[in-house]
Structure 1
Amino acid sequence: MNRVAAVDCGTNSIRLLIAEPGPDGGLAELDRRTEVVRLGQGVDATGEFHPDALARTFAATDAYAALIRDAGVPSSRIRFVATSASRDARNREVFFAGIRERLGVTPEVISGDTEAQLSFVGALSRVAPAAEPVLVVDIGGGSTELIVGSAAGAVTSAISLDIGSVRLTERFLSAHPPAADAVAAATAHVDALLDTTGIDFAAVGTWIGVAGTATTLAGVHLGLEHYDRERVHGSVIALPDLRELFGRLLGSTVEQIRALPSMHPGRADVVTAGTLIAVRVAERLRVDGWLVSESDILDGTALDLLRRTDPTGPR
């Protein structure tokens, strides 16, 4: 039984995918879970994990450990990747010890470049871009990855920027609705970092969005009363609709945002900041819309793990 378990722990959420090789050479998903734990709470300001954030993350990991055991996945086939918040926290050894105790593996704090590569592979595993080059944007809680490559999966450039929905909220947009000068400062900060990427945004043929900001916005855009992963996957948000949605979020309180169709309550206070990043990317593009993929770094991690543990497995 060649099953694997991939855990992706970011600044805002911790996610689990249990999978095995699929008949098409890809993944056969057995279980997928997401918990918003806000591990990165205050890390940008203090440089350390907050005890409450660690407690939330460990509780979610306990639940995941039980699911992994029930699926019969040994520790040798578990990969726990940790991203932006774990790269920044001084007390990350406390986090590592807690995860080792629960899963029997040490979290792998991946670099921004590795995060970008895994996100690109995952994003393209279940969507077919209509034009090249392909730009995959992964807006996380603490960082944003921008990956350019071909439809066949070859990456030509990968950039990780220290802007994300949680980080940007804590620095600039903690008030809801935010003041105009705060929005202007956040926009200038995002623009300054995007200007350093060297990406030829105008040449991009397909723009794909992965992770919580993109999928949450797709659910709201579609007007889903309850989040539906299959309907979100492969949906397209036209750029005028993205700008209109951003305007709605800017003028809303957290309670009003939380009440939007399919909005995850744990994302309501940070989705405006994530949308600002998306809009600033959109302003540089000449594409018609934002293609949303439910397959992302978690799928890329599981695929990579299957290839490591079974050389004859999916390619």
Structure 2
Amino acid sequence: MRLGVLDIGSNSAHLRIADLAPGEPPLPVRSVKSAVRLAESTDRHGVIGRPAVGRLIGAVREASAAASAAGVGELLPLATSALRDAANRDDVAAEVRAATGVELGFLSGEQEARLTFLAVRRWYGWSAGPLLLADIGGGSMELAYGAGDEPEIALSLPLGAGRLTRHHLPSRPPVRKRTRKALRAHVRSVLDEATTGLAERPAPVRAVATSKTFTQLARLCGAPKAKAGPYAPRTLARADLHGRIPELAKLPDEERAKLRGVKRSRAHQILAGAIVAEAVMDVLSLDRLDVCPWALREGIFLHRLEALAAGRPAGPPFGTAADRAGAPYPCPVPVRPSRPDAERKAVARLHAVGTG
């Protein structure tokens, strides 16, 4: 079957389309990415602003059209931290549904950690032994540990690179050493409290990082380029990262974006990401992390494929406490054309409210 996963994050809405077949890895077909900038458009009350909602509607409309053109049978639209935690998330989801016909679902932080762990386990296999996973997003950071398909520990912490940049760093560099030390102390305090259970587990045989933040930090510290392909080994060493943090702190965004591996869209938050990554390795006594090319979206593909193979209906992964409490999960929906009339009315309503 051909499945589309639309991942709506803090900065972008990213559609990945893949063909799924039993016994085979997800075969990538197409990728469509649109900037939505939800996190930076969220006010201090947690309300996402109207311009960002308009961008989101446009991104979902584009993704739905791309999925239809690619022959996608089912589309899984999901939102992570930025929209999940927004005070007006239900209103935003209603606007998107009225404009595009697409019903957004929400993943809990624990579900994100478990699905990403599944992807990492499948990538490295059983020879990897007990795995430790770290993933830094825009709004949250996920940690997971386990020796099987499912992690024994799955955590989601409010240590996303975008969140920390907004709340703890100045709008313009340079970032003074005392400011960096204060942020590092905050990150360490959260990690120290949250990871006590990890200290009681056997040391992981392999410690793994996923996400764009870790990928770009690894490239900054000398890992192979993307064109080397997914099978090229990539690692991030704590000592190398430690040496790059003062440089990142001095540079404005436009200069950071000229550094090896740093994308312009993430230049503003790469310093916070580096501080979190270093703190994670320090607190968990890790000298280096292997960077895995598979992450959350691949975990969703694999979870859906396993459900199909077992004849199970698609639904929340793993049956976590959050699932039992009724946390919404995006069920696959047939791809269908959007409704232009409803869309025009919704967008007009947005403009009217935004200018009223």
Count of residues in correspondence between the two structures? 308
- In structure 2, the residue matched to 1:99 is 96
Q: CA deviation at 1:103?
A: 5.4
Cα 1:70–1:310 shift into 2, 3 Å: farther
Work out the CA distance in 1 between the residues paired with 2:104 and 2:149: 26
Q: Secondary structure at the match of 2:251?
A: coil
Q: Which amino acid aligns with 1:284?
A: V
Cα 1:141–1:35 shift into 2, 3 Å: same
Q: Which amino acid aligns with 1:244?
A: G
Structure 2 matches for 1:63-78, cutoff 5 A? 63-74=62-73, 77-78=74-75
Cα 1:269–1:135 shift into 2, 3 Å: same
Work out the CA distance in 2 between the residues paired with 1:229 and 1:99: 38
Query: Could you tell me whether the CA contact under 8 Å between 2:237 and 2:288 is conserved in 1?
Result: yes
Please state if 1:205 is matched with 2:205.
Answer: yes
Cα 1:44–1:304 shift into 2, 3 Å: farther
Q: Secondary structure at the match of 1:184?
A: helix
Q: Secondary structure at the match of 1:81?
A: strand
Query: Could you tell me whether the CA contact under 8 Å between 1:138 and 1:144 is conserved in 2?
Result: yes
Work out the CA distance in 2 between the residues paired with 1:247 and 1:205: 31
Q: Secondary structure at the match of 1:45?
A: coil
- In structure 1, the residue matched to 2:163 is 167
Deviates more, 1:252-261 or 1:127-136: 127-136
Q: Secondary structure at the match of 1:48?
A: coil
Structure 2 matches for 1:25-64, cutoff 5 A? 25-43=24-42, 45-64=44-63
Aligned residue among 131, 136, 142 for 1:145: 142
Q: Which amino acid aligns with 1:243?
A: H
Cα 1:312–1:20 shift into 2, 3 Å: farther
Task: Give the ranges of 4+ consecutive aligned residues of structure 1 lying more than 6 Å apart after TM superposition.
Answer: none
- In structure 2, the residue matched to 1:268 is 267
- In structure 2, the residue matched to 1:246 is 245
Q: Secondary structure at the match of 2:221?
A: helix
- In structure 2, the residue matched to 1:180 is 177
Q: Which runs of 5+ in 1 are unaligned?
A: none
Work out the CA distance in 2 between the residues paired with 1:228 and 1:136: 24
RMSD: 2.5
Cα 1:148–1:131 shift into 2, 3 Å: same
- In structure 2, the residue matched to 1:278 is 277
Query: Could you tell me whether the CA contact under 8 Å between 1:149 and 1:155 is conserved in 2?
Result: yes
Q: Secondary structure at the match of 2:165?
A: helix
Cα 1:170–1:194 shift into 2, 3 Å: same
Aligned residue among 152, 166, 186 for 1:156: 152
Q: CA deviation at 1:121?
A: 1.1
Cα 1:29–1:312 shift into 2, 3 Å: farther
Aligned residue among 120, 126, 131 for 2:123: 126
Work out the CA distance in 2 between the residues paired with 1:102 and 1:232: 40
Q: Deviations over 1:177-225 (max 9, x none)?
A: 212232122112111110122222882332211112011222333376x
Q: CA deviation at 1:280?
A: 0.1
- In structure 2, the residue matched to 1:86 is 83
- In structure 1, the residue matched to 2:350 is none
**Identical aligned residues as a percent:** 29
Q: CA deviation at 1:44?
A: 6.5
Q: Which runs of 5+ in 2 are unaligned?
A: 313-356
Q: Which amino acid aligns with 1:113?
A: E
Q: CA deviation at 1:309?
A: 4.4
Work out the CA distance in 2 between the residues paired with 1:142 and 1:44: 14
Q: CA deviation at 1:82?
A: 1.0
Q: CA deviation at 1:99?
A: 3.4
Q: Deviations over 1:113-153 (max 9, x none)?
A: 11111111122332348654311111011111101112x42
Q: TM-score, normalised by structure 1?
A: 0.88
- In structure 1, the residue matched to 2:315 is none
Q: CA deviation at 1:273?
A: 0.6
